[in-house]
């Protein structure tokens, strides 16, 4: 993902970085909603073999299109004015931001891993219903990235955290499929946040360091995907509802901390200007 996002950043044209990265990601999420529906229709009408043949043809066409994209894009006109890089490890602002990314993404992902088990074991929903709710999650991701990414990166960053607060609340207090479906729509804030942290992180570095910086941010995301399920599993084993209660507390704390951090940063920036 880091190389692709780095390329998109460089060929973004007049789009903001967050918007440019969010649009392909949003369309992908939309495809995860529409794809199974179309696949099911094709399978009913033409058989499963036709599904794989059509999917293979689409994959070949998309790969062929990629081969014709510009191999080495010119440096974006805004980035041409940047000063010489000083190295990511010496960039204290960026390294501190890595800590913000790790804590924030951990809080956002904590309530998610065992949610399907919660729906099956505690709410007694069928597998087909849980699958449908998962489609609502993909739809929420698509909508949030296509319609909220035009906002500033900081605004999108905070909105995404609020969305996960709503998600955790709905699953903690909800008792019917409609509320759970609505909760899954708000889970789209997680993917929105992943895009926004890339945009914020990019503003803290030299353009020549974009690929490495994106790679480090994705590494922080990967670490949360390893650590958060461990704590979520412990919470779920002791009390399934506790992963939402703890998640809410952690999300609220992280949201407040992030507001304070970026408020201080903006105040310091205003003084220097």
Q: Which residues of 28-43 are buried (b: 16+ CB within 10 A; e: fewer)?
A: ebbeebeeeeebeebe
| Of 115, 145, 142, 146, the residue nearest 131 (C-alpha) | 115
Mean pLDDT on 183-204: 92
Question: How confident is the model at residue 191, as a pLDDT?
Answer: 92
Give the three-state DSSP class for 119: helix
Q: How far is CA 272 from each of CA 78, 82, 135, 265, 267, rounded to the nearest angstrom?
A: 22, 18, 47, 11, 9
Structure confidence at residue 113 (pLDDT): 94
The percentage of the chain sitting over the pLDDT mark of 90, rounded to a whole number, equals 46
> What is the pLDDT averaged over residues 128-139?
88
Q: What does the pLDDT read at residue 240?
A: 94
Q: What is the CATH code for 88-272?
A: 1.20.1250.20
* pLDDT at position 159: 95
pTM attached to this predicted model: 0.85
Amino acid 128: pLDDT: 83
Give pLDDT tens digits for 2-27.
777 777 777 777 788 888 888 888 88
- Tokens 């969010």 correspond to 22
Average pLDDT on 258-265 reads 87
52-68 average pLDDT score:
87
Contact status, residue 177 vs residue 125, Cβ threshold 8 Å: yes
φ/ψ of 145, rounded to 5, equals -80, -30
Distance of CA 82 to the CA centre of its chain: 28
What does the pLDDT look like over 246-259, one tens digit per residue? 999 999 999 999 99
Considering only the C-alpha atoms of the chain, give the largest distance between any 2 of them, rounded to a whole number of Å.
Answer: 66
Q: What is the mean pLDDT of residues 104-116?
A: 95
Q: How confident is the model at residue 31 (pLDDT cuts 50, 70, 90)?
A: confident
Q: How confident is the model at residue 86 (pLDDT cuts 50, 70, 90)?
A: low
Q: Give the mean model confidence (pLDDT) for residues 49-78.
A: 78
Q: What is the mean pLDDT of the chain?
A: 86
> Which pLDDT value is given to residue 16?
81
């Amino acid at each position: 993902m880091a190389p692709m996002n780095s390329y998109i950043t460089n060929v973004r044209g007049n789009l903001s970085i967050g918007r440019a990265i969010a649009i392909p990601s949003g369309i992908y999420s939309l495809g995860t909603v529409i794809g199974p529906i179309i696949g099911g229709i094709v399978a009913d009408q033409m058989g499963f073999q036709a599904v794989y043949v059509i999917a293979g043809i689409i994959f070949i066409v998309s790969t062929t299109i990629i081969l014709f994209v510009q191999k080495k894009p010119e440096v974006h006109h805004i980035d041409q004015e940047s000063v010489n890089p000083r190295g990511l490890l010496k960039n204290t602002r960026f390294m501190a931001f890595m800590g913000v990314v790790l804590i924030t993404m951990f809080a956002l992902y904590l309530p998610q891993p065992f949610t399907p088990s919660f729906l099956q074991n505690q709410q007694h929903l069928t597998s087909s219903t849980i699958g449908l709710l998962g489609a609502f999650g993909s739809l929420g991701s698509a909508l949030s990235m296509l319609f909220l990414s035009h906002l500033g990166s900081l605004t999108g960053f905070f909105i995404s955290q609020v969305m996960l607060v709503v998600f955790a609340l709905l699953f903690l207090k909800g008792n019917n499929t409609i509320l759970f479906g609505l909760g899954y729509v708000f889970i789209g804030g997680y993917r929105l946040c992943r895009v926004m942290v890339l945009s914020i992180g990019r503003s803290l570095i030299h353009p020549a360091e974009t690929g490495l910086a994106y790679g480090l941010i994705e590494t922080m995301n990967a670490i949360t995907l390893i650590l958060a399920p461990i704590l979520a599993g412990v919470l779920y084993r002791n009390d399934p509802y506790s992963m939402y209660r703890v998640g809410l507390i952690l999300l609220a704390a992280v949201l407040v901390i992030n507001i304070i951090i970026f408020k201080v940063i903006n105040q310091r920036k205003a003084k220097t200007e």
